Structure 1
């Protein structure tokens, strides 16, 4: 029916013969159209002068040549692709004393109590490929999962998680951390994603007393008459200090009240104050 639909413009010119090895199609015109396939087939044949002709299967060699290739046999062999790093790991076991000891133990009993098992010559620890103490092989594995397109020169934690999913050895996290820190591309291209603090600037030299002061709290002192905190106020010019006792908890309002009573009342309002940016001193009230 695909051929009839494809070449319909040529078949409209006159009668034609449809040769088929499906004998039931020869009685298509006499059948009751009960299925969707029959209805679709008859729809495509409407308006055409056709005639079905049955052709025995052995005589239908042209169709068999395409649909029934005689020399096609099922494949009986299966090839297995083994990554190159697997052989490197197997070779590294021969120069690793701990690996040789594990191979001897696992040949008798696998897995052991520590989670080591033997799988086609590979030592696995809880399902992950155990590398051993071969530092050169460890570096190549980290490089493959950090420097390649798969790794994308990601950070320490991301690289560690990527290596940890497949491999295991003693000191894995330290090895990944040292490798990433020494990566030349990361050192040149990566930038810190944290905000740098401002540059330290020397305080201006005060010109008179009690114009420039500094404030800080001393906490964690033994309780004395209900007081356990001291507000220290130092004059930057004379280094004269006031030690104002406070009760816990204190607020910006209570500290300001003590400051007005003990400092402003005696020395006047200062021109500038220096603090450690405690929430009391950075509050809108203060």
Structure 2
């Protein structure tokens, strides 16, 4: 609904209030001022989650059985995929829709008495825990879902019309494409400095008779019928076509001037080539060109490329992880970390965990996830330093939430 207004305030977008923006503004006013027909959640009853994901957005509905024996909605969720999420495959988009739904209605769905029934039209999600193709993203999602009691039930798409409508709203698809620069202006400027390949082939044709190592081959091709059988066998892979000398279908580049170097620059130094590695540059050059020692010349050119030398990372030996020094007395070394995103208790939604590395004695202090250094120092002063003194070493484990 608010998509036209979001597009209006984007960077480098001219301000133009039109009919589409006015309708979106009026629709938001009506949505805010009119009470939706939703039921109140009852924690003693099971929850039902209907969800669907399209190519551009996700939609889900949280419902419960009411006294009339029908499922009544408790809330609706419709959200477009952003950034890299638009490139996810169907399985990942459907699983992401479940995660977003649980995060959105976490206050209802965490710690439920009954398993939450999740209806989806993607049959493979019934076996999401048994997947063998795990990546870092899947592992993180599984950890997020581990805190919920739910079961996934397959439901044909024809029976999931409500979330399907939420995930296929036209305003989610109406996302103007961002301006993309395929090649910046400096690249086009540098391309003009590279000798065109056609021009280089004309130079090759004009320079064939200047390479003394090719004299015998050129003489053989001019009088092939009079050549001895041994000469024919030696030069059987050579041929002339359109003024160019070919060896096994590849153009022979004479050793004249900078022809070979210019050719290597086209396939390696050119901005359109992108400075590929040794083997890839050799493959690009040898597709259409040949000369004796082409491999050694290509490798030397790539290895001596100044741009590649600047970009190439130095190969330092990795430093192995070092074990922490063992303490010799209590409260000499202290480790601390935070448990975050817990149910709120006033302004507190996290726990600061402080552990003595010698005795493994732990101190647990409630705090806010947005804990900053001054407040952290106050908590240490109150709960550690006053009682046990200042530790010689403080070890921060993960530090999520600490700023």
Do the two structures share a fold, i.e. TM-score over 0.5?
Answer: no
TM range (shorter): 0.3 to 0.5
TM-score by length of 2: 0.27
